[in-house]
Amino acid sequence: MGFQYNEYYNEATGLTVGVNRVLFSEQSPYQMVEVYETDTWGNLMTIDGMVMLSEKDEFVYHEMISHPALFAHPNPKRVLIIGGGDGGTAREVLKHKSVEHVDMVEIDEAVVRASKLHMPHVGDFNNPKLHVLYEDGIAFVKNVKTPYDVIIIDGSDPVGPAEGLFKKQFYVDCYNALTENGILTAQSESPFVEKYHDSIRSIMNATRETFAVAKLYTAFIPLYPTGFWCLTYASKGINPHSEEVLARVNAGVPAIASTLKYYNEDVHNGAFALPNFVKAIFE
Amino acid sequence: MGFQYNEYYNEATGLTVGVNRVLFSEQSPYQMVEVYETDTWGNLMTIDGMVMLSEKDEFVYHEMISHPALFAHPNPKRVLIIGGGDGGTAREVLKHKSVEHVDMVEIDEAVVRASKLHMPHVGDFNNPKLHVLYEDGIAFVKNVKTPYDVIIIDGSDPVGPAEGLFKKQFYVDCYNALTENGILTAQSESPFVEKYHDSIRSIMNATRETFAVAKLYTAFIPLYPTGFWCLTYASKGINPHSEEVLARVNAGVPAIASTLKYYNEDVHNGAFALPNFVKAIFE
């Protein structure tokens, strides 16, 4: 016998998912981590009652938070992931041959444990280039000794331990932890949900004041509130649509295209087209 | 006291909406038409238990089913809308100054009545250029005497009276009902919902076999299943991204930009970028 998992993003409006059974449920020192076996989306992880990923839809988020930056950078060797405990972002990053070292700084080992146990195909945890550190990412970026080429902010929604991921000082610290050609991407909530508009504005203001290039881009994520999700791209100078980058995308995508279910050359461009009401949130 | 409206697109997974009260509920000769007052999306219309539109999100669908075709055509004068009883598509079409005559062929007058009563700002029913005909659109297109510049298929999902809107003969009839430069657009379901894949394939096969140009494009529609919605663009020759069309889009959008909440020059291009898994459905 199953039950319905509900996530309301706006009063009583939201997502409802048929759940067969609970596979994992643990109140960690930081948050409530749960994994459900669902009717049609495979296993689904939630944190504090918010969907993080399902086995069936995670490809969208993980490809889209990784490849626009990894292809835009001419030679990404060192990558830092803040959060990302399920391992999906690291898996996509590690598809890029130039990458030599990935630090994944996840505050909560329960997330990694739940993913390894119940979503074994999401992570690539045995990859020797991947280094998992159970630390607070916000403190970590303040003390980076060897800078990174790409930093990916793969945190949860702006409540609990992820709240600081939406503040300006964090982006200044990230800027300082990046190399000269450095690029940052960050998950940035849904423009259809009014309570998230402040988060979108915070990230866009913080990155525009700190980085030379700062743009919002989009992805269809069916199990996130409204299905319309934003991500932020910020860099010290590399425009994601310069001729040089587009040439790099066109040359690089074919090598890993067979592993990509969402990202491609067209999506690299099209994802940055913002509807008027989205631009109006932060312009 | 309210209740939850649920639309499951996949077993027990779907949308749940907080409803304050039922405003309209009528079993017409064709289908069950209902309007709910919701918690945060304004009034919401459903047909046979499937969301058609809400006052808050209808702008996406109506702008996106109209403007790509209306801007691509060099001089659209006569427009046919099949379905579209809520009036939102006609409203967007009528923003184009060249348009002289719009025939809206809606099989079910209950849909028009419900919209006029409970969504008074969606339609533009007093516009003298708009002619509402309560007829079967599938039969109507077989007998068109004066051809149209643009035909918009604004029907509901492929069950009940809308089933024929997904069959090849219908697209052949539409082709024959179009002028030399004719363009057609059609709502084409969600690629994240497996049961809709046959519909996407049907429309793409039918339009590719019939028209010179046939492309799928996308829009974020928060209250439709998964939030990821497809539309089809088909034409007798006009490519939606030719230099001529892009010049027309860039020249024409500013005149109505203040009324547009979704569509703009970037979206005109970006919406046609299809993720790999979407292309794989029909290629």
Instruction: Give the active site residue among A103, A154, A157, A173.
Output: A154
DSSP per-residue codes, B80-96: EEEE-TTSHHHHHHTTS
The pLDDT value given to residue B163: 77
CATH superfamily of B58-282: Vaccinia Virus protein VP39 (3.40.50.150)
- Quick: pLDDT tens for A11-32: 999 999 999 999 999 999 999 9
CB contact under 8 A, B16 and A13: yes
- Report the alpha-carbon distance of residue B169 to residue A192 in Å, rounded: 38
Name which of A155-164, B29-38, B150-159 the model is least confident about: A155-164
pTM passes above 0.95: yes
pLDDT-derived band at B32, boundaries 50, 70, 90:
very high
The pLDDT value given to residue B222: 98
Test the A interface: residue of B6, B9, B16, B274 with most A CBs within 10 Å: B16
| CATH label, A3-51, candidates 2.30.140.10, 1.20.1090.10, 3.40.109.10, 2.10.10.90 | 2.30.140.10
* Nearest CB neighbour to A267, from listed B2, B12, B275: B275
CB contact under 8 A, B276 and A270: no
Residues in chain B: 283
Q: Which of residues 155-194 of B touch A (CB under 8 A)?
A: 192
pLDDT at B49 over 70: yes
pLDDT at A160 over 60: yes
Q: How far is CA B96 from CA A243, B61, B165, B192, B255, in A?
A: 35, 17, 26, 33, 9
The pLDDT value given to residue A8: 96
Segment (H or E) for A170: helix A168-176
**Under CATH, to which class is B3-52 assigned?**
mainly beta
**Reported ipTM:** 0.97
Give the tokens for residue A259. 């592993």
CB contact under 8 A, B18 and A11: yes
Average pLDDT, rounded, for chain B? 96
Q: How far is CA A272 from CA A279, B135, B141, B271, in A?
A: 11, 41, 38, 10
- What 3-state class would DSSP assign to A91? helix
Q: Locate tokens 């990509």: which residue?
A: A260
Q: How far is CA B90 from CA B51, B67, B221, in A?
A: 19, 11, 19
Q: B215 φ, ψ to 5°? A: -140, 150
* Nearest CB neighbour to A13, from listed B38, B218, B276: B38
pLDDT > 70: percent of chain B: 98
Query: What is the residue extent of each domain of chain A?
Result: 3-51, 58-282
Cβ of residue A10 closer than 8 Å to a chain B Cβ: yes
Q: Which of residues 25-44 of A touch B (CB under 8 A)?
A: 38-41
Test the A interface: residue of B220, B226, B263 with most A CBs within 10 Å: B220
Mean pLDDT of B169-195: 97
Cβ of residue B226 closer than 8 Å to a chain A Cβ: yes
- What 3-state class would DSSP assign to B180? strand
- Report the alpha-carbon distance of residue B270 to residue A47 in Å, rounded: 32
- A269 to chain B: nearest residue by CA? B270
Q: Locate tokens 């709240």: which residue?
A: A163
The pLDDT value given to residue A161: 67
pLDDT-derived band at B1, boundaries 50, 70, 90:
low
Alpha-carbon torsion (B140, B144, B145, B151), positive or negative: positive
Residues of A in Cβ contact (< 8 Å) with B41: 10, 13
pLDDT-derived band at A191, boundaries 50, 70, 90:
very high
Residue A60's nearest CA partner among A219, A180, A206 is: A219
Mean pLDDT of A70-80: 98
CB contact under 8 A, A12 and B18: yes
Burial class (CB in 10 A: 0-12, 13-18, 19+), A171: buried
DSSP per-residue codes, A234-246: EESS--TTSHHHH
Contact, B278 vs B216, CB < 8 A?
yes
A86 in catalytic set: no
DSSP per-residue codes, B15-67: EEEEEEEEEEEEE-SS-EEEEEEESSS-EEEEETTEEEEETTTHHHHHHHHHH
- Report the alpha-carbon distance of residue A17 to residue A222 in Å, rounded: 12
